[in-house]
Amino acid sequence: MSTQSLPLRRDEAAARASLLKIEDYDVRLDLASSETTFGSVTTIRFTSRGGPTFLDLKPVSVENISLNGNPIDPVMLAQGRLPITTQEGPNKLVVEATMPFRNDGEGLHRSVDPADGRAYVYGMCFMDAAPTIFACFDQPDLKAPYTFHVTAPQDWTVIGNAPGLQTEPGVWEFERSQPLSTYFVTLVAGPWHMIHDEHDGIPLSLSSRQSIAADLDKDAEELFTLTKQCFDEFHRLFGIRYPFGNYHQAFVPEFNAGAMENPGCVTFRDPLVFTSRVTRGMRIQRATTVAHEMAHQWFGDLVTPQWWDDLWLNESFAEYMGNRVTAEVTEYADAWADMSYSRRQWGLTADQRGSTHSVAGNGAEDAVSALQNFDGISYSKGSAILRQLAASLGDDVFFAGAIDHFTKHRFGNATMHDLFGSWASAAAEAGIDFDLDTFTSQWLLTAGPDTLSWDPAKMVVNRTAPSLHPADRAHTFRAAILNGTRWTTEEITVTGDQTPLKVAANAVVLDPYDDTWASAIPDWETVQALKAALPEITDDGLRAGVWNNLRSAWFNAAVDSADVIDIAEASLPIEDVEDTPRRTMPWLFGSVVPLAPAGARERLHDAALRKLAEVAPGSELQLSAYRAAIRSARSEALLREWLATPPAGIETDLDLRWRILTKLAEIGSTTREELQAAYDAEPANDARIHHTAAQVSIPDAEAKAYGWSVFTGETDLPNYDILAAGRAFWSGPAELTAGYVERYFAELPATAEKRSGWSLAEAAEAFFPSGSVSEETLAAARAVIELDLDPGVRRRVSDAADNLQRQLAIKITYPV
């Protein structure tokens, strides 16, 4: 039986919502009978105006279906939809089916921990995965309470959206939940390590795999402290208590997103339980993620968008509130500067591509299309604009409007217009004259950022609106001005295409503190001055602003890669202490170095070694410099030396060991036997993912053939391993992988036969031949986009093609 489904159209959702009112779901799951499938019995009670509609269901098989006691032939199920004819008034639908355990991070995901062989499952119902767990009317505005009954292995603990108890060995009964949208429903089941606490009458708990229990124990105090501080602040700001009973935070394996805000049972990717040493940057990321998901308990969970086109508002609000609350009430007061490094360019680059879209008002016609606009614009840009709105309205009005919104639509659904109506009423009541309509039109309904640049000859700030999305936006921001060796800050309001800024300056950095939303491009004189000035800057926010200016300029072919390398060599940005994909160091090594003059990588390696020698042993800056030195190393002798005896202050934990081993693999200085022995010695989840990347990194035909089998789906691996293989695949000599460039475009469409959803799109992006910066590759990318691709794949390839086009512009503008 096919589990492929049609995307839900907006008009279909509106028709079904007008027909039905869901009274409740009763769901019985048997998780103990098989390692590949589970039994699912769903009883849905609903009222109807009477007439035809359809149920969403994506099973392995169907045993029985009845509507109001009358059997329905399962053969009627097609493309994930079961047509039914409802009667006017009360209806009862019962579906008994067998559902699939999945390994792609969606539906009910089952993972076996290589450390001890224990199995764990968790539910991820976002967008359209719920029907692979239970039968449902899968759209956000058909909320209903849920009651779960779960049979599980006797050594398992089961947690859900509502409190539950084990009534006999292996049998779990859960209380009736508050009304939930289908995409919030979850279960977390397995032999979890559990930790309990309580705050202000709210039961708190944490869970992780048993193999990382000691690491969760070490982090528990910090996690509970963050949670309690955030609850206190959200209660103070919103004046509405957390409404979902228990608050459980589950750290689960192979999770696609950073976290998911399921009411009462938030799921996080379990690398956020730190099994190796991490920097403050990663701790800030975890803290803001905790706060972000807590903000969702009000904005998203208590009040949910009526349709997916307002999903941006969920994420923009949670992004803004998560960062704000983290900075204001936790130990991470520097959260905004860190967010500038980790999130700013994600939004700005997305907003400048051909696929840009307005923050709001996208009018997505179906659920799949809506997901394609769920990106850095939804998070980073939306957050920046809400931050501007809060500053303009003032906290009293901003939160009065939010509280009115939560109160009017409690446990229901609402739209952007409902929220902005609440803000307009709050502003009017406070006597504040603020034109919300103009603000909305200029910032939320018009795509693309303005470009800001300073002309030192004319002493003006130029404002250029994107040609395809004209707007007349005012920008108020701080500019950092260098005069001699002294930096000062001046506030400026830009209201036209040219605004005077008459200053004596060696350098001018526009909007370093992210006061507005614009692509700020430094002038040539500023770029040259930064080579000497940047090493002396101690203001973290200003340093982040400098790098964002440089990254925006590079993205638009407005700065030479050689100049960027000069600046980085003078002051390697190890203060951006993490090296996850969106941050500065991966951008330098992965994007700038390949387009810079020969020797750039070696220069950055030497700079990393100098930093390593300068900074304090045991400090986070030492760890960051060490990682940069490993990443840029080409000497087997040095890597072997570090593997045996790391620098004083560094302990070679699992993460660092595998960084070195993967680098040895990449330069052809290790064997498969050595890699396997290292994995066998410590077979953890993280080690398995590193092992996959190292195997694919080896510069020989066998390694690349194996990596390619992962891309095509011939080798079936979990989602994290697929990404690791893709990111490692194109390393090594270009001639080794040259033949795969054409194969990527030829074989990409067929990958939809092996995987779906998030995992399908992520694999397409991870394996894209981004290092093949040529007109031929760009033409091939543009050609494949015209085929009948999965929408998620098309969007990822389209954005990758945009990147290629920009890299070609850099090669042409600044030849080496």
Beta pairing, strands 202-208 & 193-199: antiparallel
What mean pLDDT is predicted for residues 384-392? 96
The predicted pLDDT at position 3 comes to 43
Q: State the Rg of the chain over Cα.
A: 27
Instruction: Among 1-10, 19-28, 772-781, name the one with the lowest average pLDDT.
Output: 1-10
How far apart are the C-alpha atoms of 332 and 169, rounded to whole Å?
Answer: 43
Question: Span 755-763, mean pLDDT?
Answer: 91
- Which residues fall within 8 angstroms of residue 497, CB to CB, at 6 or more apart? 462, 463, 464
DSSP 209-233: -GGGHHHHHHHHHHHHHHHHHHHHH
- CA 570/CA 534 separation, integer angstroms: 8
- pLDDT at 93 (0 to 100): 98
Contact 8, 138 (CB under 8 A): yes
Tell me, letter by letter, the H, E, C secondary structure of 82-128: EEEEECCEEEEEEEEEEEEEECCCCEEEEEECCCCCCEEEEEECCCC
Tokens representing 373?
């606009």
pLDDT at 374: 82
> Which among 561, 560, 617 has a CA at the least distance from the CA of 591?
561
What dotted CATH number matches 193-448? Answer: 1.10.390.10
- Residue 367: pLDDT band by 50, 70, 90 thresholds? confident
Between CA 172 and CA 550 the distance in angstroms is 55
* 634-659 pLDDT, tens digit each: 999 999 999 999 999 999 999 999 99
CA-CA distance, 741 to 739, in Å (whole number)? 6
Gap between the Cα atoms of 634 and 277, Å rounded: 24
Q: Please report the pLDDT score of residue 1 as a whole number.
A: 34
The pLDDT, as a whole number, for residue 579 is 81
Q: What is the pLDDT of residues 188-216, one digit of tens each?
A: 999 999 999 999 999 999 999 999 999 99
Q: What is the pLDDT of residue 814?
A: 97
Q: Are 170 and 153 in contact (CB under 8 A)?
A: yes
Q: Taking residues 769-775, what's their average pLDDT?
A: 96
Q: What is the pLDDT of residues 239-252, one digit of tens each?
A: 999 999 999 999 99
Q: Work out whether strand 89-102 and strand 81-86 pair parallel, antiparallel, or are unpaired.
A: unpaired
pTM assigned to the model: 0.96
Q: Which of 126-130, 508-512, 602-606 shows the lowest per-residue confidence on average (mean pLDDT)?
A: 126-130
What percentage of residues in the chain have a pLDDT greater than 70? Answer: 99
Q: Which CATH number fits domain 1-191: 3.40.50.280, 2.60.40.1730, 2.120.10.30, 3.30.710.10?
A: 2.60.40.1730
Mean pLDDT of all residues in 760-778: 96
DSSP secondary structure letters along 604-666? HHHHHHHHHHHSPTTSHHHHHHHHHHHHH---HHHHHHHHHSPPTT----HHHHHHHHHHHHH
Distance of alpha carbon 292 from alpha carbon 155, whole angstroms: 32
pLDDT at 377 over 50: yes
Domain ranges of the chain: 1-191, 193-448, 699-816
pLDDT digits (tens, 9 = 90+) for 537-580: 999 999 999 999 999 999 999 999 999 999 999 999 999 988 88
How far is the C-alpha of 402 from the C-alpha of 418, rounded, in Å?
10
Question: Picking from 29-33, 360-364, 451-455, which range would have the lowest pLDDT averaged per residue?
Answer: 360-364
Interval 158-175: pLDDT, tens? 999 999 999 999 999 999
